[in-house]
Amino acid sequence: MEISGITAGVSAIAIAYLLGSIPGAYLITRLLTGKDIRKLGGNAGARNVYRQVGLKAAILTAIIDVGKGAAAMAMADLALKAPQPFLALAGLAAVAGHMWSIYMKFTGGNGLSAAIGVLSLTLTRELVVVLGMMLILTVVTRNPILSLSIGLLSLPLTGWFFERQWLAVIFSVLLIVMMAVHFFPTAREAVTRAGSKRKLISELLRLDEDEKKQRRARKGKLPAN
């Protein structure tokens, strides 16, 4: 690998991390409400913006988060022309930036939106499978975030099926592991609050419905339970 290729690759990783670190949830919430999303409860992600601010704010946040993941890969591939291994590392760096943002004292969201942006330009066909699985599973779970997380587990298999490259498989595994490591403390706290794993699963399966009822109740459409 030429020195110029290494330089381009390292630059791609650094830029991807900085782009991934852009705190869409914080910026949108601050712009629309003047508040800090971190102080409203939950993380700095689109799902929490939906809970705390509303649907329109969450959509704007998701657009920023998906966009920065895609922008990071476009910069690495089209502008810097980084070698393939560095493209994979840049994708991981963009998602890492979303979860551990340098602009927010290394806190952030769960990485799902940024991962979608990264996958849209790296493993496009695999992403279509993931989103298809999410739609099907959402019918059962009624929780699109949970369904998307489950769908991501298919990446190593579909990565090999479509790409026939170990790099795609390794990238997929590292992405899943990195997101799982980030989510583990949150899951552990959730299990503690719920009292057991079974109760936690039950909570997750009815979470979206409860949130919708609470939002309608706040708008005066039905009494809160």
Taking the C-alpha atoms of residue 7 and residue 15, their distance in angstroms, rounded to an integer, is 12
pLDDT at 35: 94
**Regarding predicted confidence, which is higher, 198 or 80?**
80
With a pLDDT cut of 70, the percent of the chain lying above it is 82
Chain segment 100-130, per-residue pLDDT in tens: 999 999 999 999 999 999 999 999 999 999 9
pLDDT band at 19 (very low <50, low <70, confident <90, very high): very high
Tokens 């026939």 sit on residue: 164
pLDDT band at 197 (very low <50, low <70, confident <90, very high): low
pLDDT at 223: 44
Taking the C-alpha atoms of residue 224 and residue 218, their distance in angstroms, rounded to an integer, is 8
pTM for the model: 0.85
Residue 118 burial (C-beta neighbours within 10 Å; 0-12, 13-18, 19+): buried
Chain segment 26-52, per-residue pLDDT in tens: 999 999 999 999 998 888 999 999 999
Degrees, nearest 5: CA angle 91-108-171: 20
Candidate from 11-25, 28-42, 93-107, 190-204 with smallest mean pLDDT:
190-204
159, 172 in Cβ contact below 8 A?
A: yes
pLDDT at 225: 40
Domain range summary for the chain, segments of one domain joined by +: 1-122, 125-225
With a pLDDT cut of 90, the percent of the chain lying above it is 72
* DSSP per-residue letters across the chain: --HHHHHHHHHHHHHHHHHHT--HHHHHHHHHHSS-GGGSSS-SSHHHHHHHT-HHHHHHHHHHHHHHHHHHHHIIIIIS---HHHHHHHHHHHHHHHHSBGGGTTB---SHHHHHHHHHHHSHHHHHHHHHHHHHHHHHHS-HHHHHHHHHTTHHHHHHHHH--HHHHHHHHHHHHHHHHHHHHHHHHHHHHHSSHHHHHHHHHHHHHHHHHHHHHHTTSS---
Can you name the residues that pair with 187 across neighbouring β-strands?
none
Please determine, for residue 25, whether its predicted confidence score (pLDDT) is greater than 80.
Answer: yes
pLDDT at 219: 54
- At residue 2, what is the residue type? E
pLDDT band at 224 (very low <50, low <70, confident <90, very high): very low
Please determine, for residue 72, whether its predicted confidence score (pLDDT) is greater than 90.
Answer: yes
pLDDT band at 201 (very low <50, low <70, confident <90, very high): low
